[in-house]
Structure 1
């Protein structure tokens, strides 16, 4: 059911993109993790990864509600991501069954100077990971705000980065990094180190290998990963 609710990816000229979704090991723990990517009327592409609080059918249903709302808001209004998420947060408690959720909403744009640019806002979600063309890895900590449902009238920040050819961005849910036996910072550092080691792999291989190496063995949550790469030679 969870796989059925998740979308197909669009085809983007000059951009590689791949996704993975792994359900929770316990089949009774239907999750609320999701990814999304869709073209916008002005030619930009919306990228989303999110997680509705809970591990049951209600979380999965809430995920579908929230995803569809976010799609509609992002498509209908040519607003920056932080304004869209502000509107979503204000409406969520009134017209969905979702009490709390985390997400990253980003817009992939063609930069005036060439290449691509990413603009995003983060609502209490693990930060995106950037692998730059010269081999450096770093989390995108800008644009970090509180999770959805905590305070709907608070303004949200936004981050922006230029993506040079050869750059890779990873959006993921906490099932990739969380463990009961280690602090969250240790899981983030492990993901960063593994991504640095694997940065030369093809994008599909990179994501598959990260799921094996970085996901803690004791993690009982579902996992969603959305990865994009700006090729050096489109």
Structure 2
């Protein structure tokens, strides 16, 4: 759901007395948004980006860092953010290798975002096809909805023919690969193994939030109706 962009927008409109600078990192590339001078500066290299952040902190500026994990298994350094006066959030797929070490060392809180639902995607389609005749808008939405049935509400794949076809192939391979043992790792909800996250970017599942005894817990669930039905057919 483009969480990093949403957070950036909110922080840029946040009280300037509390946050004067926002740093948005994509792996080794950092964009520094100075709200006082209303400028954006690009920096390359994690060491350079870290040096820039600490120099801003030493000058007494208050800021916030959004760190998008650009590559699998590349979490930020645990001392990337200054010790005080700055906040930081790491945006990642649920793969634990992208953030687990950082979370444990800085005692961060984990926040899970659900996948977009059907109405979210329908709104995206309406925005993408604004100005187009109503019947063409409806035709486009029906095509996207059909794709969602097979691979789920994944924006990177449902809007493009090539990536959709590639994803369908990956889903078929994943369905053929699971067995009676591994299916428990991917499809349990409310069972003894909640949220199997060592490989959560598996093509067949999504992570969902559920309330359990007034506490929020996370479980894997089929990402779409197609994988759910295929799973039942295969193991029932």
What TM-score comes out, normalization by structure 2 length?
A: 0.29
Q: Which fold has the larger relative contact order, with Cα–Cα distance below 8 Å and residues 6 or more apart in sequence?
A: 1
Q: If each structure's strand is expressed as a fraction of its own residues, which one has the higher value? A: 1
Larger radius of gyration: 2
Which structure: greater helix fraction?
Answer: 2
TM-score norm. by structure 1 comes to 0.29
